[in-house]
Amino acid sequence: MRDSRNARVFRRTATSMKGHSFLHVIKLVSPFVMVVVLQAAIAGFSLEVMSSVRAYVAGEALWSRSQKNAVYFLNLYLHSGDPGQFTQYQASLAVPIGDEFARWALERDPVDVETARIGFLQGGNHPDDVPGLIWLYRYFNRVSFLQEAIQEWRATDPILLELSVFGELIRSELANGPIQDDRVQFLSSRLSELNTQFTVHARRFSAVLGEGSRAIKLMLTGINILTAAALILLLVWHTRRLVRQRQTFEDALHAEKERLAWQASHDWLTGLSNRRAFEARLQAELDNAATGALALILLDLDQFKSVNDSCGHLAGDRLLCQVSRLLQQDRHAHDLVARLGGDEFGLILPRCSPFDAVDIAERLRRSLELFNFTWDDRCFAVTASIGVACIADGNVTLEDAMRRADAACYRAKEKGRNRVQVENGKPGVLAVTPRPREAVAARG
C-alpha cells in the first residue's frame, strides 16, 4: 500500500515538473519569439514600403522621359509632317496620361482600383510594381513627402492637357497645308516652354521622392536596429542569424557594376566603344602585334561641321549615329569600331594584312561617299578623310601608332579630303597600295 501511494505521488510530482518545465521554456522563449515576429513584420513592412517607393521613382523616370519624347516627336512632326513622328508622339504621351488616369482613379470615392491598375500599366510600370503603387498612394498619400510629390504631379496635368491639345492643333493645321515659318517658330517655342515647365515639376517630384525615400529608410533602419538590439539582449547567440547579406543586394550591386563598366567604355550617343576602350584595346593588340598583322584606321567626317552649323546639334547627332551603323557593317567579331570624339572615329583591325586594311578603308570611303544624309528635306553629301597605319612589328608604341594614323588622316585632308592616305616611310609602318576588293573576303 505504501509503495503504491509513493508511486502515485511520484507520478504526480513528475507530471507537475514536466508541466512547470514546459511553462518555463515557453516563458523563456516567448519574448524571443515575439521579438522575432516583430522583427519579421517590420522587415516585411520595410521591404514593401521601400519597394513601393522604388516603383514610384522608376515610374517617375519613365513618366518624365516619355513626356520629353512626346515633345521631341511632336516638334519633329511640326517640322517634317511625317505621320510616323505623330504616332510616336501619341505613344509617348500615352505614358504620362496613363499615370494621370491612375491617380484620378485613386482619388475617387470610392477608389477605382481596376482603373488605377490599367492606368499604371499604360504608364509602362511593371505589373509586379502596380499593387505597391496603389497601396502606397491609398494609405500614405497624406504623408508629407508623398503629399508634396503628388502636388507636383498634379501640377503637370494642365501641361499634359495643353500638350495633347497642341498635338491635335498641329495635325489639323498640317492637314490644311504647310505651316508658315513664323507659325512653326511660335509653336516650336511654345513646345519648348511646356517642356521646361514639365521638367521643373518632374525634378521637384523626383527630389521629394528621393528625400522621402531616404527619410523612410533612416526611420525603418532605426526601428530595425532597436528590435535587433532587444533581440541581442534576450539571446546574444542568435545575433549571427540576424546578420546576413541578401542575395538580391549582391545581384543589384553586380548589375550596377556591369552598367557602370559599360558606360565607362562606350560612347553614350552611338553605343560604340569610346576613346578609353579604344586605346586600351590598341595597347593590348600592340603588345601582341608580333603574332600577326595589325591595322589602325582613323576617320574624320568632312562635312560634319556644316551639318551641325546649318541644322543644329540634333542633326549632327543623327548623322553620327547613322555613320556609326555604317562603319559597323561587315566588320569581323574581333574588329573594334570606336568614336574617339566629335566627328572622329577609329577602327582596330587585328590579323589584317596591309592590303586588306587599305581595301577596307577604301570601301568605307566609298560607302560614305554614296551615303546621303537627309534632314528637314535637306540633303547633305557625306565624305571622310581616312588615315591608315599598318603595324608590322611589336616595337610600336600606342602614341606612335596613333600619331602615324592621325598624320595620315591629316594628309588626306590636306590633299583635298574624301580620300584614303596610308602612312609610309616610318619604321614598323608599311606603305601599301590597294588590291582588288575580292581579297578582303579571304580575311578571317
- pLDDT above 90 covers what percent of the chain? 24
Same-domain pairing of 164 and 293: no
Residue 7 lies in a domain: no
Rounded to 5°, the CA angle 128-131-137 comes to: 135
Instruction: Indicate whether 236 and 275 sit together in one domain.
Output: no
Shared-domain flag, residues 170 and 36: yes
Cα distances from 341 to residues 7, 261, 275, 442, in angstroms, run: 98, 19, 7, 32
**Lookup: cell for 333:** 567579331
Buried b (16+ CB within 10 A) or exposed e, 351-384: bbbbbbbbbbbbbbbebbeebebebeeeebebbb
Structural domains of the chain, count: 2
Over residues 109-142, the pLDDT tens digits come to 898 889 889 988 888 888 888 888 888 888 777 7
Question: In the predicted model, is pLDDT for residue 94 greater than 90?
Answer: no
359-386 pLDDT, tens digit each: 999 999 999 999 889 998 889 989 999 9
Distance CA 347, CA 204 (A): 44
Q: Is the pLDDT of residue 298 over 70?
A: yes
Q: What is the mean pLDDT of residues 75-97?
A: 86
**Between 14 and 261, the higher pLDDT residue:** 261
Quick one: which H or E segment has residue 326?
helix 313-328
**Whether residues 362 and 420 fall in one domain:** yes
pLDDT, tens digit (0-9, with 9 covering 90-100), for 28-73: 566 666 766 776 776 677 677 777 777 777 777 888 888 888 888 8
**How do residues 172-220 score in pLDDT, each as one tens digit?**
888 888 888 888 888 888 888 888 888 888 888 878 777 777 777 777 7
**Judgement on whether residues 210 and 273 belong to the same structural domain of the protein:** no
- Give the domain range for residue 347: 267-442
* C-alpha cell belonging to residue 208: 521629394
How far CA 377 is from CA of 81, 82, 374, in Å, comes to 11, 11, 6
Give the pLDDT band of residue 348 (cuts 50, 70, 90). Answer: very high
Q: What is the pLDDT of residue 440?
A: 42
Q: The domain that contains 389 carries what CATH number?
A: 3.30.70.270
Among residues 182, 210, 244, the one where a domain terminates is 244
Residues 171 and 317 in one domain: no
The answer to whether position 139 is within a domain reads yes
Q: What is the rounded distance in angstroms from the CA atom of residue 105 to the CA atom of residue 187?
A: 32
The conformation of residue 179, written as its DSSP 8-state character, comes to P
Residues 274 and 145 in one domain: no
- The catalytic residues are 343
Residue 151: inside a domain, yes or no?
Answer: yes
Domain-embedded: residue 338: yes
Digit-coded pLDDT (tens) for 418-430: 999 998 645 444 4
Is a pLDDT exceeding 80 seen at residue 416?
A: yes
Q: Are residues 414 and 329 in the same domain?
A: yes
Same domain? For 85 and 218 the reply is yes
Three cell numbers written together for 263: 558606360
189 and 299 in a single domain? The answer is: no
pLDDT at position 386? 96
Same domain assignment for residues 412 and 275? yes
